[in-house]
Structure 1
Amino acid sequence: MGSPNKQDTAGVHGAALGADEVALTRKNLGWDYEPFDIPQDVLKAMNKAEQGASYEAEWNQAFAAYKAKYPTEAAEFERYLSGQLPDGWDKDLPTFTPDDDGQPTRKHSAAILNILAPVVPELIGGSADLTHSNLTELKVSGDFQKGAYANRNVHFGVREHGMGAICNGMSLHNSGLIPYGATFLIFTDYMRASIRLSALSQVGAIWVMTHDSIGQGEDGPTHQPVEVLASLRAIPDLTVFRPADGNECSGAYKVAVEKAKAHAPSLLAFTRQKVPNLPGTSMEGVAKGAYTIVDCDGTPDIILMGTGSEVSLCVAAAEKLTGEGKKVRVVSMPSWELFEAQDEAYKESVFPKAVTKRLSVEAGVSFGWSKYVGPEGYSVSIDTFGASAPGGTCMEKFGFSVDNVLAKAKAVLG
């Protein structure tokens, strides 16, 4: 405003006015002060330091009175502000064995959220109108709404970007809250700017995404995220998890909650379909990003690696290959980012350079996997859009079956 030649034009959108136009603008506005010279009357009107100090003193006095009257609640509030988690907050995170019934990982997520909710009272969030699909309702609380501000279930409405912005704001307020926001993984495209800004702005948010692959089924290719994981992994400082079973879901939430307190966002991708609980998985392994869950004696002939629901295919194929006399290692890779943060010795222990026969299995695009499979490896992936069919049919038709993983492993072995 005030520029004689550029006001009401696009000329000021991406370029400075320039010295001549600045001089004309000053003259037009009657502004006779030098650059960065603040008039005393403006400075006096804008300087609220004394008023701010008074407000702070008033607040401190009010909090001291509150603390004297409600010491337990005040201590909890101070813990929030300190960034510390309650002692033993993670002790009830569930663990599983292969004898336990398999569940969709979104159901594991639901159970874990409700285990955490009573012991981590700063956990607050909800879904973009998909609560009963994402399974993100906290049973210990009602709905956050007018007159019910102590409640912790937030109904964000069908507005993923708005949900992301709200969660970012709750975290950046620095009151110690841990916000989470949920939708289908495909709909992260509607909130990508919010997710990206959560990483850029060091926001302690947890993004809970379900229906993570073509395995979600009949909704078809508009709802089946094939390229989405790869695009999210490309965002700097965002930790992406795709857990394989119940143990890895517990491990993913443990890391995500800890990262939230350290002002770092995480995104967790969960299945709609059931997955078995696998041998060798663990919360501790998830913290490493990638780890061996099935191994052999000596140097492996081949390493099978995967994420999420496809890890079970690797385990089953490895069992058949072992029965045929091959030495096979299976690596679960719930988080590429956490694995890349490990030292070189650990990386070598998981993926020895001497083992060049490698196969990755993930129901998403192959982009990025070449780093791990190498020039002699292969990726069982989906580099096209999906299809509208039952989830199991989609997985079978696109090659995500034990028989196809076995065939591709044999082809790699030669």
Structure 2
Amino acid sequence: MPDSIFIDKNGNKLRCGYTTGSCAAVTAKAALMMLLSGEDIYNASIITPKGPVYNAEIIDIERCDSSVSCAVVKDGGDDPDITSGSKVYASVALAEESEIVIRGGKGVGVVTKPGLDQPIGEAAINSVPRKMIRENLEEVLGQYGRHNQGLEVTISVPDGEKLAEKTFNPKLGIVGGISILGTTGIVEPMSDQAILDTVRTEIRVKKAEGKEILLVAPGNYGLTFLKQEYGIDENDAVLCSNFVNDTVKIACEEGFSRILFVGHIGKLVKVAGGIGNTHSMYGDHRMEILSGIVDEFTQDLNSNNLRSKLMECVMTDEAVRIINEADLGEKVFPRMATKIKEVMETFSEGKIITEIIVFSNEYTELVSTPDAYAFLDYFRHE
């Protein structure tokens, strides 16, 4: 179907794939359908959060007295994905309680550090996949008139522990397997150049529309934050992915003189350290950068202890908590925002005035530069 095809800059058709979250949801749905109907099925489908329908072949069906287990083969499309070809299993059993409980089985990692999508001790099945699983199971239960039926769902990826060695999971404190991920349900194959071509095209469109200020966000979280917190139309923003330096330079080349950049601290703190591409392959150093800013405001022996705590953090949201508990947030985060602004303006060789809004967990504004709201009002009043 057209929605499952990506056209690269050379006109090549690249096939989209499906996330592990989509695999888990469609497999769980199939297992429940077989459990309630008593009949085996070999194909099942779900609507992904982005819209395309995922039609999956169901394999490895196994029945016990009170549960059904089955699997799909993960298809990453034309995107290089280490999980492509792996089997994602779901086992579904009826439960006495009315709750749908989702657990991780073999090959699904367990969270061992704070600041991740799931709390410590939970399976690394992220929020959107959990929502997909629940909604599809509730749909099936409704079809059978069993709205309050409780379920126990176990998601497994037999080769997940081995695959996880090739991911950042061990570093992030996710042990024993891979994470079940995906915010759109779709894996879109895109090269770096294709992303930059898209960024340039979007910036040119904004300029052609007469926009005087360019609104930029690294990803979908930024768009959601803008909409939920400020009521800004998501279409007003250009997505730059990890390409902060390139985006600023492109904006300069296309004639913009003002940018409002809105993003999560996990991305933007890297820019405070001079990093122009925020992908982890080009360098992380988030905690080192934050610790360096903290050092500007601490002179006593406790600073070493605070620095140690920060360096042990996996996620920046946890670092935010530690800095705030040390009563340094009102100094550290404005300084960080100033440094981000200065670095971005350096990327443009002083040709673009940049204002910054940084948010943290649960789409909470953390800090902004002094004129950020004046820039934001431009989009509110259009």
After TM superposition, the score normalised by the length of structure 1 is 0.30
Q: Per residue, is there more strand in 1 or in 2?
A: 2
Computing the radius of gyration over CA atoms, which structure comes out larger, 1 or 2? Answer: 1
After TM superposition, the score normalised by the length of structure 2 is 0.32
